[in-house]
Structures are given as structure tokens and as C-alpha cells.
Chains A and B, each alone.
Chain A
Amino acid sequence: METGIWGQARVEPMPALWLADTRRQSGTPSMSGFESDFEGKSFPGQQSILVDADSSQWPTSVVGSLGMLEQLGEALRQLGAKVGFDLAAPAAAVLPAHRQQSGVSALDAVDAIVEMFELPMEAVAAMAGIGRTTPMYWRRTGTSPRPSTVRDLWRLYGTAMSLQAALGTAGTRAWLRSGASSPLALLEAKDLGKFERLVSRVAFNPAYTRAFSAAVDTNAEFDVEVGSGTPARASRRRVRRGRLG
């Protein structure tokens, strides 16, 4: 049996265009992932891709990577991606080996976020708007949640994958806890939308990611300012890496 993913994403550059155009249908998709054969193709408008995959693919990792589509082409390039398998690599990297050959379940996504963010499962569940013990129930019973239950979980997973691709695992953990008002605080406040916008600003800003990676390497700290482009080095204090919960 062949499985596949249709990924059809739309990025509207101007609010006016967006408002005028929300009913537009997505474009004629190609099956071959043809667009990924090029570097430097990052169109500001509508993006349509079709990823043809087999059962070992990670549909949700594609969702995750697509979640930051403001610069899809650049994101794919940075991930070293041919659409599909290579996009899955960041997801696979944070999961136990025995889970790396199957599709990402909601429970996998929770585990991946727990591992990457260094947070308790209950905290991740709360951030994703699901019951604090619900993932334990999935694990115990082997059941799968309804898609509507885990919509925010996939959004969170998508941002996590994008962050990991841009900053690495250590960088992601440090970034989450950096600044006076940390990104993690946004998640604790369940402001996922603001968190996504913040991630989109840093994860696809090469200057930021380079500078942040350098700071992580030297244990320096950056202040995270929503709306700023390149971060400013704030102090030489060590990055706080405490756990929640």
C-alpha cells in the first residue's frame, strides 16, 4: 500500500490580500515533490506541494515543517530537504529508536516535545490544551485521539520541529528559557498563537539563528524580544535551563 501526504499551504503576504482571498482554493498540486528540486525558491504567496510518501513517513513532521511556511523554500533548504524523508529526520531524532519506523502518533508528538523542551508530560499536555493525564491514557489504552482534540498539539509539535531544525535541541531548550519574558512563559500562558509568531520570526531568520547558536555555544544569553529581528546580546549570564513542574 502506498501512502502519501498532500501538503497545500498558503502564505498570504498582505493582510488586505489575505482578507480578500481566504476563499481561494489551493493550487494544482504536483505529486513528485518537484518544487523541492530547487534551491532558493521561496514564494511569498500561495504555496502548494504534494509529498508522496510511503508508510514509513512522518506525516506530522511535514505538518510541523509546513507550520512555519513564511519561507518554505528556505526552510526546506535549511533542513537539507527533499520533501518527505529528510523533513522527517528532525522528528525521528528526538524519538526513541523503536518509534522511528512508524508514523508519528499524538503520543509520539507529546513525547518528542517533552524530550525536546525538557518539560514534564503534564506541562506539555496543558500547553497543547489537552487533559494533563490524557497522554498517559493514550499510552495505557493504545487509543488515538480525535483530530479536533489534538489540533493544538500538532501546532505545538510543528513549532518544536521548526525550532529544532533552526536552533538544534540544546539551542531550542536555551531559547525557550531565555530573556526576561521567556517564550516558555507564552506556552505556560497557553498563548500558542503568539508563540508561533515568535518562532516564525526566529526560526527562519538566519542572522538570529547563527547568533543564537553562537551564544548557546558560549553560554551567553539573548533577550528575546517579540518583533525584533536580530537579537541583541544582553548579558553573559548563563542560560537558565530549569524544568517546569
Chain B
Amino acid sequence: MPLTLPEPITDRLINSPLKLVVCQVRFEETASVSDPKTGLALFQSLGGDSGPYPQFSEFRGQQVDITVAPGSPISAQQTQLAGWKFVSDDRAWSVVIQPNSVSLETTAYTTWTADFEARLRAIIEAVVAHVNPAIQIRLGLRYIDVITHQGIESPKDWRGWICESLLGPIMHPEFGSAVLSAQQQLEIDAGDGIKCTLRHGTVLEATNASPAYLLDWDIHTDAAKALDVAEVFTALSAFNHLAVRLFQVAITPQMLEELRRS
């Protein structure tokens, strides 16, 4: 069944709950990324000291892939990574380029068209110019929304603000009111090889223990293909559009109005 969603309201939300946005392009292992000359060339391509990401550092670490499955031993695999990290002065934007991926992450997202897309395009074009990966292995765009609202004291209070279908067990007539927390992960097939992993549920913000509702959207495609910058951005625009539409059906019209209100 193709996914059909209503066209979204595209106003910029005054009270946006968007806390973090990450976009990552994975490609085949390209050892030249670790070369300091490559790191420096990438840094200069993005403006160097006077660019938007003037804090330049080596990024060295380990990728840890751990799988836990019933009836099987926990398996862990470590992979050494070496790459580069460029960060804005206010630390709200960071770029990480590794031998098998490039990513842009921000806590200061405004809009796709006016800001994020242009930044990402400059980064990916720099990677193509200096690293020249051939294959796009995975493309992911992740939006993390954290919704808070006055008067929310328990999970059931999200009724009327979050779509009841997502609230699920919280709406149970017998035990719903006793639910202290609920989280769920959904895998959504959006068609054309695009999938969305939605992790959602009630959370407490660690800083002040205030109740919040998390909507963590990871829209992605896993199909390997030739890396083409134009196609990457066509796909990402579609991801962005899908994310907006999904978000707006995950919350109630009442909540959307609250978020639009100044």
C-alpha cells in the first residue's frame, strides 16, 4: 500500500519542537579521507578559519556495532575510524567526515530550503571534490522533535496533543491511566525504497525532569547506487517533505496551532 499523507502546512513553526537534525551520507570505504592533506583541503573548501565551521579537529574513534538478540550471544564489532570534524563557533553545527560517511548535524535548524540544504550541499560537493566516493550506500535524514506542553503531568495528558493512534496503550480504557511511560519504534515504508524509523514516546527531560513527548524520525534509504549529488538532494528534499507530513499527522491540529502560535 502506498503511503498517502495530506499536504502539510508549510509555515515555519514559531515554537518549533525540533531539537536536532542530522543528515548522513554513507559511501564506500575511502581511505584517503584520513590523509591530513585531504582533511585540510576539505576544511579550506568549507571556508577554513573564516567559514561557518572554523573549529577544525581530527576525529578519531571507534565504531561499535553491537547486536543483541534473544537466544544469541551479544556480538560486538569495533571498527577504527579516523576522519575530520569541523564545528561552528557556537557549536550548534558540526560536520564529520569519515572514511565511509559525511554528516551534518545541528541543534539550530531553521528551514530546509533557506539554510540546511545549502550548507549540506557545500559539504557534499566538497567531499565529492576531494574524496570522490563512487557509491552511495545509505542516505539518512533524522529529525528529533521534543514536544513539551504546560499541564502535562502524566502520559495520558498527551491525549488531545499527540495523535491517539500513536499514544496506543496510554489510551487503554482499563490500565491507560496507570501507564507511567511508553515508547515504541515503528518502521514505516514510504515507498520508492524510502523508509522511516520512528521512535516515539513519553520521556522526561533530564535537565528538569519535565514531561516531554519524543518524535525521533529517521528517514532513510539503504539501496546502494552511484553517488550523484543531484540525486542525493532530490532524495533529501523528498525526505524532508515526508518528515513534515509525518510530523503533522503525528500531532493533533490543536498542537500544530500551539506550535505555530507566537
Contact = CB atoms under 8 A, between A and B. Distances in A.
A38 B206 contact: yes
Contacts of A70: 68
Interface in B42-99: 57-74, 76, 78, 81, 85, 94, 96
Contact of A4 (B60, B70, B105, B212): B60
Interface stretch (B125-133, B138-146, B225-233): B138-146
A8 B146 CA distance: 22
B205 A193 contact: no
Interface size class of B (residues with CB under 8 A): 35 or more
B59 A3 contact: yes
A192 interface: yes
A39 B207 CA distance: 10
A62 to B, nearest CB: 7
A40 interface: yes
**Binding site of A, secondary structure by majority: helix, strand, loop or mixed?**
mixed
Contacts of A15: 69-71
B86 to A, nearest CB: 11
A11 interface: yes
B136 interface: no
Nearest to A28: B140
A28 B220 contact: yes
Contacts, number: 174
**Binding site of B, secondary structure by majority: helix, strand, loop or mixed?**
strand
B24 interface: yes
B66 A9 contact: yes
B199 A12 contact: no
A43 B73 contact: no
B103 interface: yes
A53 interface: yes
Which has the most chain B C-beta neighbours within 10 Å: A28, A37, A67, A70? Answer: A28
A45 B61 contact: no
Given A4-B59, A15-B70, A28 B24 contact: yes
B68 A46 contact: no
A34 interface: yes
Interface size class of A (residues with CB under 8 A): 35 or more
A218 B207 CA distance: 36
B24 A69 contact: no
A27 interface: yes
B20 A28 contact: no
Contacts of B222: 24-25
A90 interface: no
Contact of B66 (A24, A39, A67, A192): A67
A8 B19 CA distance: 21
Interface in B1-47: 19-20, 22-24, 26
A46 B67 CA distance: 9
Given A2-B59, A151-B76, A34 B20 contact: yes
B68 A31 contact: no
A28 B140 CA distance: 6
B242 to A, nearest CB: 14
A151 to B, nearest CB: 7
B144 A34 contact: yes
Interface of B: 19-20, 22-24, 26, 57-74, 76, 78, 81, 85, 94, 96, 103, 105, 107, 137-138, 140-142, 144, 146, 181, 183-185, 197, 199, 201-207, 209, 212, 214, 218, 220, 222
Interface of A: 1-15, 18, 22, 24-32, 34, 36-46, 48, 53, 59, 62-63, 66-70, 73, 82, 147, 151, 154-155, 158, 192-193, 196-197, 200
Q: Which 9 residue pairs are nearest across A and B when measured between Cβ atoms?
A: A28-B140, A193-B73, A4-B61, A38-B203, A45-B185, A9-B66, A6-B63, A28-B142, A2-B57
